[in-house]
């Protein structure tokens, strides 16, 4: 009763207010104020949160449209993040060339060439001049951040990336020019195929790629360390590409090789790492005719892996001969390069398991003497028809090869077996 009296606030017990019959039920939990301040604050807060959520949803939809196939692709963020072709089909030609038809490849190359011309018209830039020292007059204005020159041409800023406004604006302008002039209904349209589709996203991506190529040249010529690294990378890439082309050409000769060599199949030998390298261009080579070096014909020195046996080199020579015959029969013009073997070798070990007959045991003996504890992984069995020739530069009882790791064709290690390449 004392509790009820205190809650009634002096109201007589026989008086029951008509508007508040709850006090008897409210006696159990802790007393609450008659007017709860939060009851008035909650509705506005909930409404505000709801509005904020809707605003965030609208903002996301504006930044990332879901069904805008005609998008001009001028959002630098989308293009820069998308190093691989977008899954939503934003690009058509800006994808791996092995996924394109011959006609698409043609249009892709023509668009890229047209972009190069338009960029030159806008900027006057020449790839061979990028990063070269400027005249004194130009050096005085080198720090000028203006994106135009006195002659009215635009300027790339190679100190920044493609997303910088100055560079992005030029790329977008060049892409717009190419896009407008290469509409099929325009007189300026000069592409080979009218039925090959492409979009503005492709053109803008090609334009930005061209800027990145120019920037790489700039970095190479203005930063010593970057220049050295880039030269090494370019050289390695070119050598690897020549090895791949050599492998592809020799694969074409396999069928005829099998006919001429009692069914021997050299296909398992066609690995890029097994191919020889073209080291560098030779300006002057002894015992060459004048015709070999005239008309700009490039002459490359062949560097064969020293670990390769004479039998393996003989197989490669036969494949090369057949490949040359096929090119001549097909009416292909003579190659613009010539490969000269000066008997220089690459003494590095093989980078992947090799067949036993491929191993030059003389090289191996010298290699293990110079590199104690190092081993070369070879497969346990040779391909059918190979490994039957006695190598004149290898001794049958060479003990050096007996420490060689061996591995069978399935990859099961047979380490410790006393097998030489000749015995295997």
- 378: β partners: 354, 406
- 359: β partners: 308
Q: Kindly state the tokens that stand for 101.
A: 């038809």
Residue 328 — pLDDT band, cuts 50, 70, 90?
Answer: confident
The predicted model gives 363-388 an average pLDDT of 89
pLDDT digits over 51-106, tens only? Answer: 777 777 777 666 554 444 444 444 433 333 344 444 445 888 998 888 899 999 99
Q: Pairing between strand 277-281 and 298-305?
A: antiparallel
Give the pLDDT of residue 147: 59
* pLDDT at residue 350 is higher than 60: yes
Q: What is the residue-averaged pLDDT of the chain?
A: 74
Range with the poorest average pLDDT among 208-212, 237-241, 266-270: 237-241
Q: Model pTM? A: 0.47
Measuring CA to CA, how many Å separate 396 from each of 99, 377, 384?
50, 20, 21
Residue 152 — pLDDT band, cuts 50, 70, 90?
Answer: confident
- SS3 sequence of 190-259: CCCCCCCCCCHHHHHHHHHHHHHHHHHHHHHHHCHHHHHHHHHHHHHHHHHHHHHHHHHHHHHCHHHHHH
* pLDDT at residue 142 is higher than 50: no
- 303: β partners: 277
Give the integer Cα–Cα distance in Å for 391 and 358: 10
* pLDDT at residue 341 is higher than 70: yes
Query: To the nearest 10°, the Cα dihedral for 252, 257, 263, 268?
Result: -50
- 341: β partners: 302
Tell me which long-range contacts 293-300 makes (C-beta under 8 A, separation of at least 24). Answer: 296/336, 297/336, 297/337, 297/338, 298/336, 298/337, 298/338, 299/337, 299/338, 299/339, 299/340, 300/337, 300/338, 300/339, 300/340
Highest mean pLDDT among 43-57, 215-229, 269-283: 215-229
Q: For residues 84 and 193, which has the higher predicted lDDT (pLDDT)?
A: 193
Range with the poorest average pLDDT among 162-176, 192-206, 352-366, 374-388: 374-388
Q: For residues 88 and 346, which has the higher predicted lDDT (pLDDT)?
A: 346
């Amino acid at each position: 009763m004392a509790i009820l009296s205190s809650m009634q606030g002096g109201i007589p017990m026989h008086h029951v207010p008509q508007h508040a019959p709850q006090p008897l039920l409210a006696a159990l939990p802790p007393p609450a104020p008659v007017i709860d301040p939060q009851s008035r604050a909650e509705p506005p807060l909930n409404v505000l949160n709801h509005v904020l959520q809707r605003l965030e949803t609208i903002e996301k939809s504006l930044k990332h449209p879901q069904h805008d196939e005609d998008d001009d692709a001028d959002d630098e963020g989308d293009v820069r993040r998308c190093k691989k072709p977008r899954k939503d089909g934003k690009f058509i030609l800006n994808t791996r060339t092995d996924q394109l038809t011959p006609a698409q490849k043609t249009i892709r190359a023509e668009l890229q060439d047209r972009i190069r011309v338009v960029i030159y018209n806008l900027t006057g830039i020449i790839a061979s001049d990028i990063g070269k020292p400027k005249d004194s007059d130009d050096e005085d204005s080198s720090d000028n951040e203006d994106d135009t020159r006195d002659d009215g041409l635009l300027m790339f800023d190679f100190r920044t990336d493609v997303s910088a406004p100055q560079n992005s604006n030029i790329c977008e302008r060049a892409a717009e020019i190419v896009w407008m002039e290469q509409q099929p209904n325009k007189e300026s349209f000069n592409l080979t195929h009218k039925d090959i589709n492409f979009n503005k996203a492709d053109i803008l991506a090609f334009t930005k790629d061209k800027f990145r190529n120019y920037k790489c040249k700039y970095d190479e010529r203005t930063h010593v360390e970057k220049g050295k690294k880039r030269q090494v990378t370019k050289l390695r890439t070119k050598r690897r590409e020549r090895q791949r082309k050599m492998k592809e050409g020799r694969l074409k000769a396999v069928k005829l090789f099998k006919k001429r060599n009692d069914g021997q199949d050299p296909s398992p030998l066609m690995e890029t790492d097994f191919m020889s390298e073209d080291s560098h261009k030779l300006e002057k080579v002894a015992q060459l005719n004048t015709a070999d070096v005239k008309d700009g014909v490039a002459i490359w020195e062949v560097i064969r892996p020293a670990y390769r046996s004479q039998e393996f080199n003989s197989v490669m020579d036969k494949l090369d001969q057949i490949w040359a015959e096929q090119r001549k029969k097909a009416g292909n013009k003579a190659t613009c390069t010539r490969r000269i073997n000066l008997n220089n070798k690459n003494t590095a070990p093989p980078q992947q398991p090799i067949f036993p007959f491929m191993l030059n045991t003389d090289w191996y003996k010298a290699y293990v003497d110079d590199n104690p504890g190092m081993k070369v992984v070879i497969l346990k069995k040779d391909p059918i028809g190979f490994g039957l020739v006695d190598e004149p530069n290898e001794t049958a009882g060479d003990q050096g090869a007996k420490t060689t790791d061996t591995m069978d064709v399935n990859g099961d290690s047979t380490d410790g077996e006393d097998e030489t390449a000749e015995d295997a």
